[in-house]
Structure 1
Amino acid sequence: CRTGHAFIGEYYTRFVPTEDVACSCGAHLQTRRHILLECPRYKDARRTTLLRISASPTVNDILGTQDGIRALAKFVAKTGAFSKTG
């Protein structure tokens, strides 16, 4: 996620252009920001993990702080986000 390498549409547009780049929620392009902050599929997990570091966290808050990294680890464990099946 932090390196930009993940099983998401944003990655596929650069490295695997034959893959679908949309999110299963219907968003046109699945990005880190979309998954972490916007996707309705992850609303409950976001509330119990990422929103505990800030009421309105940014991607930089999540990826750039120790509390954010810990919250992200919990979020990924709960959701499987950024995995091939997540």
Structure 2
Amino acid sequence: SPSQQALLSAVTKLASQSWLRFWKNSPKTGFFAPSNRMAPSLKLTKHFRELHGKREVYGRLVQCRTGHCFAGEYYSRFVPQEDIQCPCIEHLQSQEHIIRDCPRYDGHREGLHKVSRDLYLPDILGTTEGIGALASFLEKSGAFTKS
């Protein structure tokens, strides 16, 4: 009879395959769509390993990718008493505005532009290279920090 470890490995493999099949067959729509471009995995991501010891930056990275970040767009949906205007006074403070347009972060986007010249959110939020550049942007700029 198979060992307990062999059974656990088989169940894990089946669960992983089922999850991947479900992900492949699911439409990539909605608020999370730009981030949902990489197949799911049971292994820690490269970004988690590279940001070891930088929990605050990693937390902001996850929040930014999922749309649950400190920004007016999130507040308008979940914390309506918070101000939703960007401090630059030009726009609703959104994930896209902060990453692409907000003049407060103009000096910090070089790495993002190397990944996506036009700062296309699916390239930044949903690719390995983009997520790495986003982590660097967050660390250097302090973007998406509750002030």
Normalised by the length of structure 1, the TM-score is: 0.92
The residue that corresponds to 1:45 in the other structure is 108
Matched residue type, 1:14? R
Higher relative helix content: 2
Structure 1 stretch displaced more, 22-31 or 65-74? 22-31
Q: Which residue of 1 aligns with 2:129?
A: 67
User: Aligned pair 1:14/2:69, yes or no?
Assistant: no
How far the C-alpha of 1:52 sits from its partner, in A, is: 1.2
Q: Which residue does 1:5 correspond to in 2? A: 68
Question: Hey, what does 2:120 align to over in structure 1?
Answer: 58
Give me the identity figure in percent.
55
Separation of aligned partners in 2, 1:5 and 1:80: 16
CA deviation after TM superposition for structure 1 residue 56, in Å: 1.1
RMSD: 0.9
Q: Point out 4+ residue stretches in structure 1 off by more than 3 angstroms.
A: none
Structure 1: runs of 5+ lacking an equivalent? none
Of the three residues 57, 76, 79, the one matched with 2:141 is 79
Residue 4 of structure 1 and its aligned partner are, at CA, apart by: 1.2
Query: How much has 1:15 moved relative to structure 2?
Result: 0.9
User: Which blocks of at least 5 consecutive residues in structure 2 are unaligned?
Assistant: 1-63
Find the partner of 2:98 among 23, 35, 38. 35
Q: In 1, distance between residues paired with 2:90 and 2:73?
A: 12
Give secondary structure in 2 for the equivalent of 1:62.
Answer: helix
Q: 2:78 and 2:90 mapped to 1: Cα distance?
A: 20
Deviation at 1:57?
A: 2.3
